[in-house]
Amino acid sequence: MVPTGHKDLQYLQKLPRSPLLSYLCKQAQPAKPVSQRPSSGPTNFPALAAFASTKLLRWIPEYVSHRIGWRHQFLTYPASDLRNGVYKLKEGTEETRVALAGDWASGTDEAAGVANHIAAFDAHYTIHLGDVYYVGDQDETGENFLGIPNPRNYYEPCRWPQGSLGSFALNGNHEMYALGKAYFDEMLPALGVNKGGQPQGQGASFFCLENEHWRIIALDTGYQSIGFPVVEYFWPPDCGVPAELLQWLRKIVKPDRRGTIILSHHNYFSRYETAYPKQAIQLKEFFAAQPVLWFWGHEHRLMIYKEYQMGGGIRAIGRCIGHGGMPIGLPGEVKDAKCPVEFEDPRLYPNDENLTVGYNGYAALVLRGNELEVRYVDVLGDTVFSEQWSARDGTLIRSASAVGIATSDR
């Protein structure tokens, strides 16, 4: 059962990938749930509502005040942090459960539903792959991620479910639409590994979870996803990984032959949308000889790709899980037909807003020794796709996979 009282999907559908228009759409969102789609109301891009004089007075000053200025300083781990952002997973036959969701922080009923299923999974670690909507400012970080009610509207807030051992969040382009200030100053202090049941703060926007057989390495592709206003439309940023993070990989993580799981906000490749191969080219220094399992978000759908590489980047088995909380676009025009798809979820999600959208969901990972099980769970709690992997000396071997949804639903 999907909860109610949170934000509606309709106002987030087809949100343009643009800071200016994201600020515009933010103002167009009503102050309380609408639920049923109004017969003559907005559906895809409710821009006109934002041109009301009261909204205009908020839109332009907010855009200017949030976007003109320097980005928040890129944080690195201080010398006093002996772990340097590298945390130990359980060893041996003990299992570690990790929940991943991308583009979850929309504040919608569906985001709340996905959060409930993550909580039921009883994850040791929960990791958000980035994007707080619309613009990742302080108010939205509070109401869409930290569960803090916004006094200026009547929506139930959403809280990112905490793992019993820790919770983390990657940086996305929407957090950077407000220069990353709320991400670094509000979100990260509320995350990190737990001590005495309390999060100790996530020290930087990148980190590594590891055991004897596996490494989960989280990157920041959001920090360099914005440029100067207006200029960025003509020279789009490449979403590459900052130099400080590459140094951390070289000096601290020192990638080896363990099974490697990469997490990033931006997609390396995509069958339907713009690709961001710069990050994969940067990783060639570390993973030229072995493929990685790579989970990313940014694109609002679930995609299971076969191993692929492009643009001089590393070999990657791509898993797009940007279907955490935004309206899910169904397969549209193919942009790169060479991207080899193994599975995509084509089902229509029945909703009270009469929207033609797909199912939200998250990825449930269980690591045990050198084995990894991944289940892709939808907003109703059903497993859509599952797979099992083992890591042996830098080689990832998939021993099983299954489509979990009934054929009649597809």
Residue closest to Fe ion (Cβ): 298
259 binds Fe ion (CB under 5 A): no
Q: How far is the CB of 131 from Fe ion (least distance, A)?
A: 4
Point out which span in 152-160, 182-190, 292-300, 371-379 binds Fe ion (CB under 5 A). Answer: 292-300
Binding part of the chain for Fe ion, among 20-28, 72-80, 132-140, 298-306 by CB under 5 A, reads 298-306
Residue 17 or 83: which CB sits closer to Fe ion?
A: 17
Binding letters toward Fe ion, positions 26-65, x by CB under 5 A:
----------------------------------------
Give the closest residue to 128 by CA, choosing from 97, 160, 153: 160
Residue 33 and residue 102 in contact, taking contact as beta carbons nearer than 8 Å: no
Q: Which stretch binds Fe ion (CB under 5 A): 149-157, 281-289, 295-303, 310-318?
A: 295-303
Phi and psi (nearest 5°) for 59? -60, -55
Site string for Fe ion, 100-139 (x = CB under 5 A): -------------------------------x--------
Least CB distance from residue 198 to Fe ion, whole Å?
A: 30
Token representation of residue 375? 């289940």
In whole angstroms, how close is the CB of 102 to Fe ion at the nearest point?
8
Smallest gap from Cβ 296 to Fe ion, in A, equals: 10
C-alpha pair distances (Å), 239 with each of 19, 23, 224, 227, 287: 15, 21, 5, 10, 19
Q: Which of residues 155-184 bind Fe ion (CB under 5 A)?
A: 172-173
CB 362 within 8 A of CB 99: yes
Q: Which among 168, 20, 188 is positioned nearest to 98, based on CA atoms?
A: 168
Cα gap 334→157, rounded to integer Å: 36
* Chosen residue from 298, 300, 301, 319 binding Fe ion by CB under 5 A: 298
The b-or-e profile of 297-325 (16+ CB within 10 A means b, else e) is bbbbbbbbbeebbbeebbbbbbbbbbbbb
388: Cβ contacts below 8 Å, ≥ 6 apart:
371, 372, 373, 374, 398, 399, 400, 401
Closer residue to Fe ion, CB minimum distance, 270 or 290: 270
| CA gap 269, 283 in Å, rounded | 14
Residues at the contact surface with Fe ion, assessed by CB under 5 A: 131, 172-173, 298
